[in-house]
Chain A
Amino acid sequence: MKPCRLLICFWAGVTLLAGYGTGFSTSGALPQLRDISQQAGIRFIHSFGDEKLSNIVESAGAGCALIDYDRDGDLDIYLVNGSYEKSVNHPQGRQFSGKLKNALYRNDGHNRFTDVTGSAGVGDTGYGMAVVAGDYDNDGDPDLYVTNFGPNVFFRNNGDGTFTDVTRKSGVGCDLWSLGATFLDMDNDGWLDLYVGNYLAYDPEYRYFYAGDGFPGPLAYSGQPDILFRNNGDGTFTDITRKSGVYNPDGRAMGVSSCDFNEDGYTDIFVANDAMENYMYKNNGNGTFTNIALFAGTGFGQNGEATSAMSPEFGDFDRNGKMDILIPDMGYSCLFLHSGTEFYTEVSSLTGLAAICGQYTSWSGNFFDFDNDGFLDILITNGDSHFFEPEEDLVLLNTGQKTLKNVSRLLGKDFSQKGMGRGSAVGDIDNDGDLDILILNIGGPPALYENVGGNSGNWLMLDIYPGQKHRQIVGTKATARIKGDLHVRHIMTSTGYLSQSDSRLHFGLGSAGMIDVITLTWPDGQQTTLEQVPANQMVTVTAP
């Protein structure tokens, strides 16, 4: 195919400056993770509205997002907070009443952030769970959907640093207990639709449980149906849950993610359900979906066990060009490799993931190439689910041989700290070519880890903007060929547990100095090709 002319702007030399002065220079050594949250000015403390965990609502939240809300080229931070709810929390949590809200931190560069929650108008005070960002009105900036135990909130980005609550006007309010949510263009009409995963009907009066559990688990309550909202293109949405075939009243959705996993041109949806089968909704291309989880092999763990599935994360772990799925849980976690033809094989034992995760209560999982060697590594957040017992998080190195190596204790003392990890997002906060980490811990401060030395391997970042024809770029697929190897990335919204990562596409290149060919497949199937793209730069691409 002949390369298409694009509006391409090369941010040349960004990394020629970044990364120096860190003391990291040894080729082959692991990057170090340095917690910079305090020096960055992040003063946010999450609270679940109580002093100790006493029910499933307090334990379930919360997420975070790395988004460029002001479109100034660097990633800002959104953090979701809990609340004091009389119907949920023990009265001893009254001290938190009216004091808790979500927070937005603007990236000022040089690893400094400023709390702009008040001026932006996004300090929702609901009992927060997840945040997902997407440009629902195609005006070029990300809008924010926040799920709550209680009514969800939808913030429209005004483009001037402020947001407006458009929940009622847009019609995407939901009073059920929502956890995960994802934006996707289900019908390729150029407008982002919204899938909201609902968890369960919490009943504070229900108190049957084994003593050692502390409080009842998810199966003690009945599930709730998820909701699919279709974007009408005029600022409003229509509930098409039943019509589209995704009505499942008994589901217990935790994390939700969307990706065109079978590459038929239509974005599919994955719902991680707690303690029951997952749903994998294949988009039929006609406005309806079919749940194929069982036959695809992703409904359960390897031997048919219903896991406490937390969050689905798509990524090409084995670099065969197909999107695999990582789902952390309270047991051994699941890694489903896509072998094509909509068949998946669960390989958590074979890769070593099971032996590592078996000792933790895992929540969020992110695929990210943290050492820029060209293979997607894994970040896992951990923390007990029933008691306030912090656990250490994990970085698992992809050896390139379909196995994982736990290198968490080799990444510096900061990363050894324990927390009540829940949501997580990865992204290049300092635009230095390696991926940094944001972790939301419940009942404490978040951790913002700067990746020091990850950029000793070569890299390339694609920052893709909507164009005249393609007003919406979620669902765009980038395929890079580097010395015959295949690297695939998709632009997705929700990632990890209740969170959203950097939507720019990051490629670790190892020692390769150039990408031979990058093919961008836009949501309508049209393709654009870039050839001979040099490494170590941020490439801005505007869609046709």
Chain B
Amino acid sequence: MNLSTQHFKPRIILLFIFCFAFSTAVVNSQETTPKLMPIPHPKLDHLEKEIFDQLSQGRQTMEKHIANPELDGVNRALAYGKLGHLYHTYDFDDAAEACYYNAALLHPTVYRWNYCMGYILEDKGDMQSALVYYKRARSIQVTSDLVYLVNIRIGDCYKALNQLDNAGYAYELAEEILPEGASILARLGELAFARKEYERAVGYLTLALEKAPGANKLHYPLAMSYRRLGKMDLAKDHLARRGKVGVQPPDPLLDKIAGLKRGFRVYILQGKKAFSAKRYEEALEYFKRAVASNPEDPSGHVNLGTTYVFLKDYDSGRKSLEKALELDPDNLTAHYNMGEFCFYAEEFDKAVHHLGVFIKHTPDDAYAHLMIANAYRMNRQPDEARQHYKKAIELDVSLEHAWVNLSTLFLDYQAYHEAIQILEAGYEKLPHNVMIAHQLARYLAMVPEKKLRNGARAATILEKVIEKHPDYDVLKSMAIAKAEQGDCAQAVSWIEKAIQAARQDSLSEDVINSLNRNMAHFKTAKPCSLP
């Protein structure tokens, strides 16, 4: 039997089948339109008018275009895709998905339709389907930053599917494009963590944090990696620094979609987002739009007023907060912010009034008690101040400023023993708190009532503080503690270190001069401790 003939026949049959199928597909593609998805009608009746109009008009525009029989596939895709962006903006995901599906079907070689479709599916948790669209997007010739982005998304999907090798491959492709990118370093770190490669995780996450120090969410996997490596102190240190800010790759398309948002609530939310990110000018613009959109809503004025204050436009800030209280005299946020504003404007009576209203309705807010205590203190009402500082501490023992300010209040009235006593209590509760420890050490080193001084203990406390926080002021306190112990040479040595630290931090000449005066005292005075 001729083996080659045996194999030849099936090959011919397969080729025939393939040719038939291909020709059928070509004919079909020419003669029939692809099967499009109907676009759901999300309920819009509960929306603000501005958003309702935006979405309704977007829908009408799309329908008008689609009804035009002359419109080619590219522009039909565009009509669907643009409406998809609008629905996507307001999280009407099902409607957005249908629009993107149609757009990608009608014009499959456009990156953004495939990318957006993938994004919506990933957001819904359908990773397998998301991967199909992301891979299509990747296969389209686009700029390297978009390839970087889509590789990250592909890696994220694979990671969620626990296909860690595939995730790693996608991330490596992204890494080749932008090896120093914080978002890819973070993901490689998280992937290593998931693979239980803790040393590698530490390496990547540390690098990512160097690139994006504000991405405090990365401290968590870093802490867990250190914990696994048995480095408990480092683990605890990073846990204490954890936060909510992650690191996302730049995504111009999604940014553009987010920019389509309209309406009072959206302006407020966008303003708050910008405010939280300390982009105060941008927040101001959003809050102005919110107030213009609904001038009768006090929350717009509250946010606007607060932002003005942060931008040091105090007159405008006061007007906005007053307007908020005029519209809603019981608005607690307005009272609180007005209280803070009055405090910084040194109108302590008014600060006490507004903060008092807030506390009356919100008696468990520790920070409000701290603020009103500060106002009372500045208003020379020590009994009230003391009472509120203590309440603040009772409500939130970790409120370091309450401990420290209460001690300062005692100091104001020469109650040195009580000042030290309260800091001792705070130090016992919060032994790792730098501010409390430093303040206690400083008092022990130089409190005017000499019998209360304890230079040795101050130095012991400061040694731990310096490990974490070798700031010039702490170094100066150590110098004072050494002088109090009578070790003038050490005092000089520490004050030199303080001067060096101040110079490194580019502090003003006034600070340097002050430290130099201390040095002169430690070198010449006998004893060198402070009088």
Listed in ascending order, the chain A residues whose CB lies under 8 Å from chain B are 207-214, 249, 294-295, 297, 300, 302-306, 331-332, 343, 349-352, 354-355, 357-360
Residues of B within 8 Å of A354, CB to CB, are 160-162
Q: Is the CB of B265 within 8 A of A209?
A: yes
Across the interface, which residues of A come within 8 angstroms of B91, CB to CB? 210-213
Are B194 and A350 in contact, CB atoms less than 8 angstroms apart? Answer: yes
- Taking the closest CB of chain A, its distance from the CB of B462, in whole angstroms, is 27
Q: How far is the CA of A355 from the CA of B224 in the complex (A)?
A: 23
Query: Does B235 lie at the interface of the complex (its beta carbon under 8 Å from any beta carbon of A)?
Result: yes
Chain A residues with CB below 8 A from B160, complex form: 332, 349, 354-355, 358
Q: How far is the CB of A164 from chain B (nearest CB, A)?
A: 34
B residues 226-246 touching A (CB-CB < 8 Å): 227, 235-236, 239, 242, 244, 246
- A residues in contact with B124, CB < 8 Å: 359
Q: Are B162 and A304 in contact (CB under 8 A)?
A: no
List residues of chain A with CB within 8 A of the CB of B51: 211
A-B contact pairs, 19 of them (CB 8 A): A208-B268, A208-B299, A211-B51, A212-B90, A213-B91, A295-B227, A300-B242, A302-B190, A302-B193, A303-B220, A304-B220, A304-B221, A305-B246, A306-B244, A331-B125, A349-B194, A350-B162, A352-B162, A354-B160
Complex interface: chain B residues within 8 A of A302 (CB): 190, 193-194, 221
Q: How far apart are the CA atoms of A357 and B125 in the complex, in Å? A: 8
Tell me if B224 and A297 are in contact (CB < 8 A): yes
Closest chain B residue, CB of each to CB of A360: B125
Q: Chain B interface mostly helix, strand, loop or mixed?
A: helix
Given A212-B93, A304-B221, A305-B246, 13 more contacts at CB 8 Å?
A: A207-B265, A208-B269, A210-B265, A211-B92, A297-B224, A302-B190, A302-B194, A304-B217, A304-B220, A349-B161, A349-B162, A351-B162, A352-B162
* Bound-complex Cα distance A359 to B48 (A): 30
B399 within 8 A of partner (CB): no
> Are A210 and B269 CB-contacts (below 8 A) given A303-B217, A349-B160, A358-B125?
yes
B236 pairs with A295, CB closer than 8 A: yes
Question: In the complex, which residues of chain B have a beta carbon less than 8 angstroms from the beta carbon of A294?
Answer: 239, 242
- The residue on A at minimum CB distance from B216 is A304
The 0/1 profile, CB within 8 Å of A marked 1, for residues 459-475 of chain B is 00000000000000000
Compute how far the CA of A208 lies from the CA of B264 in the bound complex, rounded to whole angstroms.
Answer: 9
Q: Which residues of B contact A210 (CB under 8 A)?
A: 90-91, 265-266, 269
Residue among A214, A354, A358, A360 with most chain B CB within 10 A: A358
Q: Name the distance in Å between B302's Cβ and chain A's nearest Cβ.
A: 12
**Which residue of B90, B126, B268 is within 8 Å of A359 (Cβ)?**
B126
B265–A304 CB distance below 8 A? no
| Whole-angstrom CA separation of A350 from B161 in the bound complex | 8
User: Does B127 touch A at the CB level, under 8 Å?
Assistant: yes
Chain B residues with CB under 8 A of A211: 47-48, 51, 90-92, 263, 265-266
Interchain Cβ contacts within 8 Å, total number:
86
- Report Cα–Cα, A358/B42, bound state, in Å: 23
What's the nearest-Cβ distance from chain A to residue B237, in Å?
Answer: 12
Minimum-distance CB pairs A-B, first 5? A212-B91, A304-B220, A358-B125, A359-B125, A211-B90
How far apart are B229's CB and chain A's nearest CB, in angstroms? 12
B441 to chain A, nearest CB (A): 28
- In angstroms, Cα B126 to Cα A525, docked, is 48
- Chain B, residues 329-370, CB within 8 Å of chain A (1/0): the string is 000000000000000000000000000000000001000000
The complex places the Cα of A349 from the Cα of B195 at a distance, in Å, of: 11
Given known A-B contacts A210-B266, A211-B51, A304-B242, A349 and B159 have beta carbons under 8 A apart: yes
CB pair A295–B90 under 8 Å, yes or no, is no
Which residues of chain B have a CB within 8 Å of any CB of chain A? 42, 46-48, 51, 90-93, 124-127, 159-162, 190, 193-194, 217-221, 224, 227, 235-236, 239, 242, 244, 246, 263, 265-266, 268-269, 299, 364, 395
CB of A358 within 8 A of CB of B90, answer no
Contacts of B269 in A (CB 8 A): 208, 210
Q: Is the CB of B221 within 8 A of A212?
A: no
Question: Known contacts A210-B90, A211-B91; is A355 also within 8 Å of B239 by CB?
Answer: no
Which of chain B's residues have a CB closer than 8 A to the CB of A213? 91
Q: Nearest chain-B residue to A343 (Cβ)?
A: B227
B244: A residues at CB distance < 8 A: 306
Given the complex, which residues of A lie within 8 Å of B268, measured CB to CB? 208
Instruction: Indicate the member of A211, A249, A294, A300 with the most B CB atoms within 10 Å.
Output: A211
Measured CB to CB, the closest approach of chain B to A303, in angstroms, equals 5
Would you give the shortest CB distance from A446 to chain B, in whole angstroms?
26
* Closest CB in chain B relative to A75 CB, distance in Å: 34
Alpha-carbon distance A306/B236, docked complex (angstroms): 18
A372 to B239, alpha carbons, bound, how many Å?
41
Closest to A296 in B: B227
Q: How far is the CA of A249 from the CA of B398 in the complex (A)?
A: 14
CB of B460, distance to nearest CB on chain A (Å): 27
Of all chain B residues, the one with the shortest Cβ separation from A389 is B94
Docked Cα-Cα span, A297 to B235, in Å, equals 11
Across the interface, name the chain A residue whose C-beta is closest to B222: A304
**In the assembly, what is the distance between CA of A306 and CA of B244, in Å?**
8
A211–B261 Cα gap in the complex (Å)?
Answer: 10
A295→B239 contact, CB < 8 A:
yes
A350: chain B residues within 8 A (beta carbon): 162, 194
Bound-state Cα–Cα, A211 to B90, Å? 6
Q: Is the CB of B236 within 8 A of A249?
A: no
B364: which A residues are within 8 A, CB to CB?
Answer: 249
Contact B47 A355 (CB under 8 A): no
Residues in chain A near residue B227, CB distance under 8 A: 295, 297, 343
Q: Which of B90, B93, B220, B236 has the most CB of A within 10 A?
A: B220
How near does chain B come to A258, taking the closest CB pair, in angstroms? 24
Q: How far is the CB of A252 from chain B (nearest CB, A)?
A: 15
Given A213-B91, A343-B227, A358 and B236 touching (CB < 8 A)?
A: no
Most chain B CB neighbours (cut-off 10 Å) among A212, A354, A358: A212
How far apart are the CA atoms of A300 and B221 in the complex, in Å?
10
The answer to whether A305 touches B217, judged by C-beta atoms less than 8 angstroms apart, is: yes
Q: How far is the CA of A295 from the CA of B224 in the complex (A)?
A: 8
Which of A208, A297, A306, A358 touches B265 (beta carbons < 8 Å)? A208
Selected from A212, A300, A303, A351, the residue in CB contact (under 8 A) with B190 is A303
Q: Which of A249, A304, A305, A358 has the most CB of B within 10 A?
A: A304
> Which of A210, A306, A343, A360 neighbours the largest number of chain B CB atoms within 10 Å of its CB?
A210
Contact assessment for A358 and B239 in the assembled complex, using a CB-CB cutoff below 8 Å: no
**In the complex, what distance in Å separates the CA atom of A304 from the CA atom of B242?**
8
Closest to A295 in B: B239
Output the nearest chain A residue to B240 by Cβ-Cβ distance. Answer: A294
